[in-house]
Structure 1
């Protein structure tokens, strides 16, 4: 084979590689964004907003979350532990009537403990735990973010401020409840937390969500 033919073959192969790379990048770009938006739902929009509308930067962050935590598999939750978590959450809901700030703090602790028990990063690493939860429970993870923020906000002064703070904490508790319910089950929305690993031994029968009891009593007024 002559030198000219060898050079021509090299040029042709290089051109094919370049064209293939360009086509791959073009096909991956939009589809990757759509996949991330579908997977993360409202969390996608929050991250885009946090990056001042820069969708590419947001998608890089979300892709890194998937790479770090996408392979996470749920640990089974024993029946006794499940019952303990349920009892503590019900008690927190009841406590909200008279002590909303204590109830929100307990809800924050409960979600952190429950997530760690299911195999997510420890609650002491809040940001990392939140990121992992967003990969598998994207549509409800904001409830944890809200209840954590509410639990760590300083107390509000004045009657009007107190009422506003109570409503904020109430909304946080309601949204956090959805994540709590998902963590009590044996599978995540995207299948990352596999149902088969939990097994039937630690699975409690299906149950209805505990309704809020705010209508029965009213907070004591000083």
Structure 2
């Protein structure tokens, strides 16, 4: 085969490869938005809002999260471990009655530790841990984000009125992610809105825990 023919074949191969790559890229461009939106749900909308409505910038960020953490496989919990975590969460909710701010800080630490036990990045790498959780628990990761912020800021209010209401709301949001991480069906929060509310009893596949009424304050002893 002459040198000219070799060069011609190389050019043809290069053109075919470039064309194939262009078609793949075009296909991803058409499907990236809808598929990412389905994958991330409310986290997709939140990310778009953070990018001031720039869908392309938001999708680049979400695609990056998928590339970094999509292959992560959650480590399992045995029944004894699940029971211990459930008891710890019940203690957090009990503490909320008298010490809302401290209870929220406890919930933040508990979720950080639990996520690490399930195979996510360690809690001291909070942003990375949050990104990984957003890939596998997009429906409820914002509960962790909210309780983490509340733990860091104390919502800037006293432990009464609006401040306590915000703390309670953050704790309830975090409960959804806790249930996901301790469920026997990873990634699925199977409790309904009613059974997940403080003061009610749900039928979870993991051990049940007593859930105190978070808005009730005990009278102070004189």
Q: TM-score range by the shorter chain?
A: 0.7 to 0.9
Q: Give the corresponding residue for 1:198.
A: none
Residue deviations 1:16-55, cap 9 Å, x none?
4444333322211121221111111111111111112121
Matched, 1:164 2:153: no
Mapped contact 2:108–2:151 kept (Cα < 8 A)? yes
TM-score w.r.t. the length of structure 1 is: 0.79
Give 5+ residue unaligned stretches, structure 2. 189-203
What are the equivalent positions in structure 2 for 1:39-58 lying under 5 Å apart?
39-58=39-58
**CA distance, structure 2, for counterparts of residue 158 and residue 172 of structure 1:** 15
**CA distance, structure 1, for counterparts of residue 149 and residue 114 of structure 2:** 18
Matched, 1:218 2:189: no
Matched, 1:178 2:184: no
Matched, 1:34 2:34: yes
User: SS at 1:181's partner residue?
Assistant: helix
**CA distance, structure 2, for counterparts of residue 30 and residue 75 of structure 1:** 34
- State the structure with bigger RCO (CA 8 A, min sep 6), 1 or 2: 1
Q: Give the corresponding residue for 2:77.
A: 77
Q: 1:3 to 1:129 in 2, by over 3 A?
A: closer
Mapped contact 2:184–2:206 kept (Cα < 8 A)? no
**CA distance, structure 1, for counterparts of residue 132 and residue 84 of structure 2:** 24
TM-score w.r.t. the length of structure 2 is: 0.79
Give 5+ residue unaligned stretches, structure 1. 191-203
Per the TM alignment, residue 94 of structure 1 is displaced from its structure 2 partner at its CA by 1.4
Aligned residue pairs total 206
Q: 1:56 to 1:142 in 2, by over 3 A?
A: same
Mapped contact 1:74–1:186 kept (Cα < 8 A)? no
> Please, what is the CA RMSD of the aligned residues?
2.9
Per the TM alignment, residue 96 of structure 1 is displaced from its structure 2 partner at its CA by 1.0
What are the equivalent positions in structure 2 for 1:186-205 lying under 5 Å apart?
186-189=184-187
Q: Give the corresponding residue for 2:90.
A: 90
